[in-house]
Each structure stands twice: as C-alpha cells, then as structure tokens.
Amino acid sequence: MLVTYGQAIGDAMKEEMRRDEAVVLFGEDVAEFGNIFGLTRGMVEEFGKQRVRNTPISETAIVGSAIGAAVTGLRPCAELMYSDFTMVAFSELFHCCGKWRYMHGPEYKLPLVIRSAMGSSFGAGAEHSNCVESLFMHAPGLIIASPSTAYDAKGLLKEAIRSDNPVLFFEHKQLYQVKEEIPDEEYTIPFGVADVKRRGTDVTIIAVGLMVRRALEAAEKLKEEGIDAEVIDPRTLAPFDKDTVFESIRKTHRVLVAEESNKTAGIGAELAALIQEEQYDELDGPVVRVAALDVPIPYNIALERFAIPDAEDIAAAVRAMFA
C-alpha cells in the first residue's frame, strides 16, 4: 500500500494497540487534536480516553510516568512533541530509562517508547530543529531508532512497542509527508540491523534520518561522475550494526558519515573513532564527516539551509575524497 512516513507511524501504533491491550499512548495533544502533525488522528476515537491521553505540558512527568507504567505492566508509547524537548527530561531519559534495570536488577523491564519529531523543518528555529541522537548515544541502556523511510519507520516502531527495553524513536519532520509503497502484511524490523539503501563499490556513506535521502541524491550525481557510492542507513544508532558497515568498508576502503546534528561530538565523531579503532588497516583515507555547522539552527531559511548539509555538500565531500 502507498503510505506516507507519518501514516506508517500512525498505522504502527494503531496495529500494536489493537494487538495488545497493554499498549497505551500519551503525550501533549495526542488525543482529539491527533498530535501536531496529525499522526495520532482517530486513535482516541478508536481506543478511548483511557488508552489515548493528552498530558499537560510536562515532559519530565511524561517520561517519568512512562517508566512507572512500563515497570508495572503497561507498554506506554509516549510522545515528546519535539526532540529538542528531550532535554527537558534529560535526567529521566539518561538516568532513569537507561539505568533503571541495571540499578534495580533483572526483575525490572522497561517496555516503553518515547517518540519525538526531530530535525529542521523550514524556519522552526533553534529550539525546534535539532537532531539529538548523539546526545543519547552516550547513555548506556537505551535503544535509539532514527528511521529514514516509511517502511523502516513502521517496522521499527512495531518492534519498539514490543521491545522490553526503553526506545527513543526519532521521526524526521521533513519525511512525514513522503510517500512510499510498503507491504500490506505485517512485519517488524529488528534493532541493530542496518539497511544498505544503495549498493556501491567506491565509497561507503553512512547516513542517518533525512541525510539518507540526500546521500542517495548525492550518489546519483556521483554516479554520473564515475564514483559508485554505497549508502548505508544504520536505522538504529544503539545498537549499531558494525558488521554491515565494516563489510562495506572492507569493500570500498573509504567512509563518509552524513548527519544533521552539529558536527562536534556528533554521530560522525563517534563512528569515525569506532572505524579507525577497528578498521584502520582497511582505510585509504580519513573518515569524513558531513554534518550541521556548529551553530544553533537559524530561523532565516537561507541561513538554515546553509547550516544543514544538502546533497551537493555530501557529493562535494565525496569528490574531495577522490581528489
């Protein structure tokens, strides 16, 4: 069926709520309003106010109560409207979600999902445009999913809702309206399995979120110039599928990481370190990072565009690797 990325996410939640009574949904404006992007429309009507609840504007209480609900037998799929707001509840996410089971023992399971809309979306401003995955890659105990397609979003979200581990699920705002054909039949996607979005032999591009689309665009341009790029989407940053990435590196010997978060201490920083530690002998050159400039994402559209990598930025960085 043909669905948008946003619909795929909504469908995943609906299917899981039909399958399992323990799944509940709560967050700011998720009931009658149907979430600010319309993703949860129709859910309060189908599942009732008991299972689909508007919360007050209380991010720490959303995450904290998701933990309490999860520990006691519900499977909360909670929402933090913008991923920027994860920082309001950073302690609850970093300390509590990530460490709860470790600190209290194997009796404790945290089957909870925190969904959050991330990334730039044309003038949303510096506190509504961030990609924050790398902040949480530093936190042991979390699963971090960052899907780039409708297919991946649906399969990963269903997996997340069924998981007994706390999952941070980041959805890119610019992808919500992107349409794609996905299977009618049910499927899930396991965590820690990267997807090779494009096969290639000359360079490995590891791209996340919106950058997957831009990397694929860049790969088409590069093909015309005689460079055959492989584009890998890790899909989950924790756990990270080293095997797929390393296999690609052993073929291409060149790596570029494309991400939308600020460059310093970002996803690329971690992956560059990991790759040089474990695959140094396979590399023909340094791991290259293409990321947002180290600035707050500006409101002005031209400045915003300048701050965030586009397909040409990725293509240019690849060309430079072969210069």
Figure out which of the listed residues 165, 236, 244, 248 binds other proteins, where binding follows CB under 8 A: 165
Binding to other proteins (CB under 8 A) within 109-148 occurs at 109-110, 140-141, 143
Which tokens belong to 17? 């709520």
Helices (H), 138-284: 150-162, 210-224, 242-252, 267-279
Instruction: Give the CA angle between residues 289, 292, 296 to the nearest 5°.
Output: 145
Closest approach of other proteins to the CB of residue 170, in Å: 19
Count of C-beta atoms within a 10 Å radius of residue 59: 25
Closest approach of other proteins to the CB of residue 296, in Å: 24
Closest approach of other proteins to the CB of residue 116, in Å: 17
Residue 102 as a binder of other proteins (CB under 8 A): the answer is yes
Residue 167 as a binder of other proteins (CB under 8 A): the answer is no
Please, which residue, 61 or 265, has the CB nearer to other proteins?
61
In the block, tokens 């997996």 appear at: 159
The half-sphere exposure of 203 on its side-chain side, counting CA atoms within 13 A, is 29
Q: Is 104 labeled as catalytic in the residue annotation?
A: no
- Catalytic-role residue among 95, 104, 128, 253: 128
Strands 52-54 and 23-27: parallel
Binding string, residues 49-88; x marks residues near other proteins by CB under 8 A: -xx-x-xx-xxxxxxxxxxxxxxxxx-x------------
Count, residues in the chain: 323
Closest approach of other proteins to the CB of residue 47, in Å: 12
Figure out which of the listed residues 12, 13, 24, 216 binds other proteins, where binding follows CB under 8 A: 24
Tell me the C-alpha distance between 100 and 303, whole Å. 41
Question: Which of 133, 163, 162 has the alpha carbon at shortest distance from 270?
Answer: 133
> Quick check: 275 and 283 in contact, CB under 8 A?
yes
Closest approach of other proteins to the CB of residue 66, in Å: 6
Which whole-number Å values give the CA distances from 88 to 58, 64, 68, 91, 206, in the listed order?
9, 12, 18, 8, 29
Closest approach of other proteins to the CB of residue 63, in Å: 7
Please, which residue, 28 or 233, has the CB nearer to other proteins?
28
Question: Which of 112, 4, 17 has the alpha carbon at shortest distance from 66?
Answer: 112
Residue 104 as a binder of other proteins (CB under 8 A): the answer is yes
In the block, tokens 């591009």 appear at: 205
Tell me the C-alpha distance between 121 and 173, whole Å. 6
Residue 108 as a binder of other proteins (CB under 8 A): the answer is yes
Binding segment toward other proteins, per CB under 8 A, in 101-109, 227-235, 283-291, 306-314:
101-109
Figure out which of the listed residues 96, 135, 175, 291 binds other proteins, where binding follows CB under 8 A: 96
Please, which residue, 76 or 200, has the CB nearer to other proteins?
76
Tell me the C-alpha distance between 177 and 191, whole Å. 24
User: Hey, which residues are catalytic here?
Assistant: 128
Contact residues for other proteins (CB under 8 A)?
A: 24, 50-51, 53, 55-56, 58-74, 76, 91-92, 95-96, 100-110, 140-141, 143, 163-165
